Structure 1
Amino acid sequence: AAVEEDVHLVGLSVLSGSHMNLVPEVLDGLRAAGLGDVPVVVGGIIPPADADRLAALGVAAVFTPKDYGLTEIMRGMVNIVRTANGLAGA
């Protein structure tokens, strides 16, 4: 769907605890489809150590239940897209 829709960002909500299995698969799939430059954000109940590992794999942001300010979350995602497209500070 990301390829067909020409997305600017992929968001994953993983509440099953399988984020360390699912997210790398999605990242690999995006890279295989030529979309390795599309930022990925993840939300769910994700321990800090796992969030660090996801960031090391290339995830642009991790949102957990402590992140509940919708305006701040949306602003963060817009900034991620802007940065990914060379528009930060523009």
Structure 2
Amino acid sequence: MLVGKPGLDGHSNGAEQIAVRARDCGMEVVYEGIRLTPAEIVNAAIEEDVHIVGLSILSGSHVALLKDVMERLRKEGADDIPVVVGGIIPPEDETALKAMGVAAVYTPKDFKVNTIMADIVRIVAERQEKAA
């Protein structure tokens, strides 16, 4: 699992909590840190051969950043890698993100980290079943 924060947002607490919990659940985690560009995220996802990308965005630029990430994944032939995002995301933006291909959107109401981990496992398993 690749975890990172695109854009200029420097608030990394949520991303770090997800990365640590994923590691504690037995996942191999690549934590790329903060202030990443969409190109850096996509390159790392491909280079590290991850099964899922988890992004945290609190800056309000989630639609533009995720559009860029999803387009770059498609362009690189890596759109089989699911992307999940967490942040302060209004319901109408959640709908737009899912229409772009984002697998799941988490907001502050989704504070049960074990539930998020179960979702991530389910998303990866479903993608791998489709690929088989």
Fold equivalence (TM over 0.5): yes
2:58 alignment counterpart: 15
Matched residues in 1 for 2:47 and 2:100: separation?
A: 24
Does 2:125 match 1:78? no
Higher relative contact order (CA 8 A, sep 6+): 1
Residue 17 of structure 1 aligns with an amino acid whose one-letter code is: G
Following superposition of structure 1 onto structure 2, how do residues 1-90 of structure 1 map, counting pairs within 5 Å?
A: 1-86=44-129
Residue 12 of structure 1 and its aligned partner are, at CA, apart by 0.9
Q: Cα deviation per residue 1:25-52 (whole Å; 9 max; x = unaligned)?
A: 0001111111011100010000001001
**Structure 1 residue ranges, 4+ long, deviating more than 4 angstroms after superposition:** none
- Number of corresponding residues: 87
3-state DSSP of counterpart to 2:120: helix
SS at match of 1:36: coil
For normalisation by structure 2, the TM-score amounts to 0.64
RMSD (Å) for aligned C-alpha atoms: 1.0
Identical amino acids, percent of aligned pairs: 56
Amino acid at match of 2:69: V
Larger strand share, 1 or 2: 2
